[in-house]
Amino acid sequence: MVSSIYLPEPARILDVQQMTALEKLFTLEFFGGRSLGHQSGQFVTVSALGIGEAPISISSSPSRSNGTFELCIRKAGDLTGVLHQKKAGDTLGIRGPFGQGFPLKKFQGKDILFAPGGLGLAPARSVINQVLDERGKYGRVTILYGARTPAELLFKGELEEWDKRDDVDLHVTVDQPDDDWTGNAGVITTLFSKVSVYPRNTVAITIGPPVMYRFVLMELLGKGIPETSIWLSLERRMKCGVGKCGHCQINDLYACQSGPSFSYAEIKAVEGAI
Ligand code: FES
């Protein structure tokens, strides 16, 4: 067990899967054998010695931890470029888990509507799989997922599994279809007309790029879902992860500590949050 919250703990890479041209899925375990002990919606920081550190959402569900955890990392700069060169057997530094996850206990008995976009499926997958592993505790489960192109769809194997289940209503769309695409074409908001919602008994969880939120929120509010039942994830330039550096600050709110999971009711009045 590492004694300082600032000191990364070494974790061994067990497996690396290329998911798309830009994203890889890393399976890790701590050398010390401790489990990450996270909640769905939390994040860790990942470091490579001498290069730097980046905040990364946790993609695996706590209900499937088995002593390991998964991180979907997009290649987007120097550090993530170095991380993408790592192989099974290599070591990464991990701090966390940090932040507040989604309060799933509060959602029990409700219908759950997931609306992840792009890389937002990586943290959403953690919540989705936890809900599916405890399926009897929830009402209807609907997943609306949007990506830019078919090649950028994440977790294709799991999308197929969810699609086959008769207790999950999955709808997938891409903004820019290719010649082989037979599904819905258009942005994620084009999927909302395909689903019916009992607004008073529905919790919506949306995770995606900030530009998506405004439009998805309009759809969710338009369906009559209360602001307290709409949840989203705000990942704002997290750095220390523990409320010290101020990098994630939105007015007087530290996203790394109060979030990244927030209800819309909590953050709608916070200037610059959405
Ligand atoms: S990331 Fe440092 S205060 Fe939130």
pLDDT in tens, 52-95: 999 999 999 999 988 999 999 999 999 999 999 999 999 999 99
In a domain, residue 252? The reply is no
Q: Is 84 exposed, middle or buried (0-12, 13-18, 19+ CB in 10 A)?
A: middle
Indicate whether residue 245 lines ligand 1 (CB < 6 A).
yes
Non-local CB neighbours of 179 within 8 Å, separated by 6+ positions: none
In a domain, residue 227? The reply is yes
Indicate whether residue 256 lines ligand 1 (CB < 6 A).
yes
In this structure, the answer to whether residues 69 and 154 fall within a common structural domain is: no
* Angle (nearest 5°) at CA 43 between 83 and 1: 85
235 C-alpha to ligand 1 centroid (Å): 10
What integer pLDDT is reported at residue 49 of this predicted model?
83
What integer pLDDT is reported at residue 162 of this predicted model?
98
In this structure, the answer to whether residues 64 and 120 fall within a common structural domain is: no
Specify the ligand 1 atom closest to the Cα of 237: 1
157 C-alpha to ligand 1 centroid (Å): 35
268 C-alpha to ligand 1 centroid (Å): 20
Confidence of residue 2 (pLDDT cuts 50, 70, 90): low
Last residue of a domain, one of 98, 128, 153: 98
262 C-alpha to ligand 1 centroid (Å): 16
Task: Check: CB of residue 109 under 8 Å from CB of residue 51.
Answer: no
Last residue of a domain, one of 98, 132, 162: 98
Q: Which residue's CA is minimally distant from atom 3 of ligand 1? A: 243
Tokens 């929120």: give the residue: 217
The strand pairing partners of 120, in sequence order, are none
In a domain, residue 272? The reply is no
Query: Does residue 44 surpass a pLDDT of 80?
Result: yes
CB atoms within 10 A of CB 113: 25
In this structure, the answer to whether residues 88 and 19 fall within a common structural domain is: yes
In a domain, residue 257? The reply is no
219-234: average pLDDT: 97
Mutate to test the pocket of ligand 1, among 95, 234, 254 (most ligand atoms within 8 A of CB): 254
Confidence of residue 33 (pLDDT cuts 50, 70, 90): confident
Last residue of a domain, one of 63, 98, 133: 98
In this structure, the answer to whether residues 228 and 109 fall within a common structural domain is: yes
Indicate whether residue 247 lines ligand 1 (CB < 6 A).
yes
196-209: average pLDDT: 97
In a domain, residue 251? The reply is no
In a domain, residue 248? The reply is no
Token pair for 212: 């998506």
In a domain, residue 202? The reply is yes
For residue 154, the domain's CATH number is: 3.40.50.80
In this structure, the answer to whether residues 86 and 154 fall within a common structural domain is: no
For residue 30, the domain's CATH number is: 2.40.30.10
- What residue numbers bound the domain in which 148 lies? 104-233
In this structure, the answer to whether residues 50 and 121 fall within a common structural domain is: no
In a domain, residue 253? The reply is no
In this structure, the answer to whether residues 87 and 204 fall within a common structural domain is: no
Question: Which among 227, 222, 231 is positioned nearest to 204, based on CA atoms?
Answer: 231
CB atoms within 10 A of CB 213: 23
What integer pLDDT is reported at residue 50 of this predicted model?
84
210 C-alpha to ligand 1 centroid (Å): 19
In this structure, the answer to whether residues 214 and 110 fall within a common structural domain is: yes
% of the chain surpassing 70 pLDDT: 99
In this structure, the answer to whether residues 50 and 129 fall within a common structural domain is: no
Specify the ligand 1 atom closest to the Cα of 55: 1
The packing angle between helices 121-133 and 156-164, to 10°, is 40
Indicate whether residue 254 lines ligand 1 (CB < 6 A).
yes
Indicate whether residue 241 lines ligand 1 (CB < 6 A).
yes
Hey, CA dihedral for 181, 187, 188, 193, is it positive or negative?
negative
Query: Does residue 35 surpass a pLDDT of 60?
Result: yes
Structure-derived torsion over alpha carbons of residues 252, 255, 260, 265, reported in degrees to the nearest 10 = 10
In this structure, the answer to whether residues 109 and 79 fall within a common structural domain is: no
Structural domains counted in the chain = 2
In this structure, the answer to whether residues 112 and 61 fall within a common structural domain is: no
Confidence of residue 272 (pLDDT cuts 50, 70, 90): confident
Token pair for 12: 């061994």
Specify the ligand 1 atom closest to the Cα of 248: 4
